[in-house]
Amino acid sequence: MARLLVIGCGGVAQVAIQKCCQNHKTFEEIIIASRTLSKCDDLKAKIEATDCPVKITTAGVNADDKEDIVKLITKFKPDAVLNVALPYQDLTIMDACLECKVDYIDTANYEPEDTDDPKWREVYEKRCQEKGFTAYFDYSWQWAYEEKFKEAGITALLGTGFDPGVTSVFVAYAKKHYFDQIDTVDILDCNGGDHGYPFATNFNPEINLREVSANGSYMENGKWVETKPMEIKREYDFPKVGKKDMYLLHHEEIEALGRNFPEIKRIRFFMTFGQSYLTHMKCLENVGMLSTVPVEHDGHLIVPIQFLKTLLPDPASLGPRTVGKTNIGCIFTGKKDGKDKTLYIYNVCDHQECYRELGSQAISYTTGVPAMIGTALVVEGIWKKPGVFTTDEFDPDPYMDMLNKYGLPWVVDENPVLVP
Ligand code: NDP
């Protein structure tokens, strides 16, 4: 039975924590620590009203401050730390885990809050030149902890959300059970949900808008090919959702899969967007509202994208009003027993069913469930080995079983329509 420290108490954390409570054979105590203590206390009250046997404790923490996290870990002595705050905090939380020799789990790879920081910028510019993609986030910062985690005998499991996370497990599963050789992977993320607002993001607006407004890229024959934002558009008829426009984006699992499965000749990632979302985003970008660079307003320094976040609906509040389904999965081509083979593995998740079960919309749900699963596999010792890993580096079978058990059942289609 494990004691878990969860850092962050937003949309994803609320699902992950409630799912840990459903898995009370693994988790006996959860310490919920975040910047706004009242959110942690509200969630504790909600869980305690359900007769959940898991002990819940709450605390405030500034996860940008390593010493603050170390104090928390020293006080509560958790077996593992699940970071579902923001990618900005990944390195401080990893540093604290290292100091205290505690396993670390997250759902998104590191990116800096201040992209104008000259120290970070120097490393970034070098990486852009060497690797050929310009996204602000990449795995190099966290992979750099590999030796330190090995020496400390602790595990870091990176990116156990849906994408990355489940999508990478789908690749490992396809390779283990269906292919001798995978040639191409297309990761398709479709949100067919409608929340009724003219514009809102389904998870943290700052992280979401940064990702979507950046250049796209994909990997071909081991090299990055970069595109302009939204340059490559395709239409796809998603099972249980219908026809949607989708656009090629840079996405973090491409980097890890490219490293761990060098045989794959092409890896692409597509996400669906409606025209209204794209028009709003372009307009906000054109007027400077997506900028992370502080500007002076009435004698105060404000960061435009953070101010925009204040104006937009809280993603955690979209649950009651969002209807429709998500469909996220991977389409593979390759070879089995010398013959050509295609395969599609996907999950369909219904926004309203998630809301009825946990009070959340499907984007937080599809991220929070795999966050719990990855954490459970680490604390149970099934996915535990010293070093820094992504989810495609372990046996996929126990993870796939838990997806079925904890609300994200998957479908295997051996005759899918391919993406042109
Ligand atoms: P939210 O903004 O809803 O929640 C973030 C939480 O972290 C909030 O509770 C916030 O506190 C807290 N937090 C932020 N900064 C600090 C800090 N310095 N110290 C302590 N707590 C802090 O985000 P989401 O729940 O939507 O997303 C959580 C994570 O999941 C993100 O890293 C996101 O990128 C990732 N994600 C991954 C996906 C995947 O499929 N892999 C998909 C979707 C999201 P406060 O309440 O005070 O704001």
Residues 153 and 177 in one domain: no
Atom number of ligand 1 nearest to Cα 9: 9
State the distance from the centre of ligand 1 to the C-alpha of 5, rounded, in angstroms. 15
- Which conformational region is residue 131 in: left (phi greater than 0), alpha (psi within -120 to 50 degrees), or beta? alpha
* Structural domain span for residue 270: 166-358
* pLDDT at residue 263, rounded to an integer: 97
Residue 99 is assigned to a structural domain of this protein: yes
* pLDDT at residue 203, rounded to an integer: 80
Q: Where among 306, 330, 358 does a domain terminate? A: 358
Q: Where among 140, 158, 176 does a domain terminate? A: 158
Q: Which CB contacts under 8 angstroms, 24+ apart, belong to 306-313? A: 306/206, 308/205, 308/209, 308/284, 309/204, 309/205, 309/206, 312/199, 312/200, 312/201, 312/205, 313/195, 313/197, 313/200
Q: Please list the ranges in the chain whose pLDDT falls under 70.
A: none
Residues 181 and 297 in one domain: yes
Out of 367, 375, 403, mutate this one to test ligand 1's pocket (max ligand atoms within 8 Å of CB): namely 367
Atom number of ligand 1 nearest to Cα 371: 41
Q: What is the CATH number of the domain that holds 72?
A: 3.40.50.720
**pLDDT tens readout for residues 285-318:** 999 999 988 999 999 999 999 999 999 998 878 8
Residues 152 and 183 in one domain: no
Atom number of ligand 1 nearest to Cα 208: 34
Q: Which residues line ligand 1 (CB under 6 A)?
A: 8-13, 34-36, 39, 61-64, 84-87, 89, 107-108, 159, 161-165, 203-204, 207, 315-316, 367
**pLDDT tens readout for residues 341-395:** 999 999 999 999 999 999 999 999 999 999 999 999 999 999 999 999 999 999 9
State the distance from the centre of ligand 1 to the C-alpha of 138, rounded, in angstroms. 18
